[in-house]
Amino acid sequence: MNHLVPEQMFSTETEKAQGISAVKALAIASQQGQKIWTITNDNLNLALSRINLGADAENDIRNAVNAGKIATAHVI
């Protein structure tokens, strides 16, 4: 819903403003056919083998998941 506030504030009758939020960005990516991964301990190795990220990002995901968190990433 974070994207709605700027859309409502900056839209006019003739021109609609586009706001963005993480949820909206993921929804757009999914609509365009991009694979959205919800990464947990159960699929960590599989997900990282299918996602082409830099070493720093992969380490951040691995550390977060190993600390009990859930990560979300996408593949084009």
pLDDT, tens digit (0-9, with 9 covering 90-100), for 29-72: 889 888 889 999 999 999 999 998 899 999 999 999 999 999 99
- What span, in angstroms and rounded, lies between the C-alpha atoms of 42 and 27? 24
75 pLDDT above the threshold of 80: no
Task: Identify which has the larger pLDDT, 6 or 52.
Answer: 52
Burial level of 16, CB count in 10 A (0-12/13-18/19+)?
A: exposed
Residue 46 corresponds to which amino acid? L
DSSP, res 75: E
pTM of this structure: 0.67
76 pLDDT above the threshold of 70: no
Question: Is residue 23 very low, low, confident or very high in pLDDT (cuts 50, 70, 90)?
Answer: confident
